[in-house]
A = this chain, B = another copy of it.
């Protein structure tokens, strides 16, 4: 374990967020002390990767830890569970949906929400992942901010209400976007086309909105209100009632947006 560091952090959880977060913290000037899991084998496996100690006993967090980060499923965050975590630490969770109020079991608490889609199989550069912070006092906020700025260059103050809106926005920007990719992949496959043909288009579409607003770079038949092409597409999607319905609804929305401009 490393020494000589100011704030000591422990992480509860061994999933995607816990894995990436613990890797980022251990690479920072902060001390990563414990990885906690009910499953001691999983705790030890992750702890070994990040030079921490794997434990399954929450009471052990008491003596040598300043910040405890809950990177667990939302349903774990019950008062019964949280009360088992020692009081004299800063307790924060990483959930996009659960309000801060659930943490009132602890005098010092806050939110440490990294906004990203994590997969165990893909490395991420934590430096560019936005971390959204909220805290129940300025002192707690400052501590969380120190930690966040040690692992990322993008730290935002986001309250619980904003975080909920952000989570919904992320469902559109990430989960539903991936569904659009999925449908396009299936349409390629059906026509004997390699999905590789579409991959550069997918990259460019995401690149464009890095420096423009989406509404300013909308293209395609709906945006030109090209009824002939829209009709021919809907007809061609005849074998897919669900894709047809999605095509219609999203086309309507784009046309309506244009009319409002």
Interface residues of A (CB under 8 A from B): 74, 97, 115-117, 119, 121-122, 124, 128-130, 132, 154, 156, 158, 161-162, 164-185, 187-188, 190-210, 212-215, 217-223, 229, 232-233, 236-237, 242-243, 245-247, 249-250, 253-254, 256-257
Contacts and interface: CB of A to CB of B under 8 A. Distances in A.
A174 B219 contact: yes
A242 B246 contact: no
A167 B182 CA distance: 15
Contacts of A132: 197
A176 to B, nearest CB: 5
B257 A182 contact: yes
Nearest to A229: B97
A115 to B, nearest CB: 6
Nearest to A16: B219
A222 B176 CA distance: 9
Contact of A206 (B121, B203, B249): B203
Contact of A177 (B154, B168, B180, B212): B180
Given A130-B197, A181-B177, A188-B166, A217 B119 contact: yes
Contacts of A199: 209-210
A229 B180 CA distance: 21
B128 A170 contact: no
A222 B175 contact: yes
Given A165-B187, A200-B130, A250 B205 contact: no
7 contacts: A117-B208, A156-B194, A171-B221, A173-B181, A174-B204, A175-B219, A178-B208
B209 A178 contact: yes
Given A195-B213, A198-B173, A214-B185, A165 B178 contact: no
Given A169-B198, A178-B205, A198-B169, A249 B245 contact: yes
Interface centre among A161, A195, A250 (most CB of B within 10 A): A250
Given A132-B197, A162-B193, A175-B223, A122 B208 contact: yes
Contacts of A156: 193-194, 197
Given A154-B200, A185-B213, A256-B242, A165 B179 contact: no
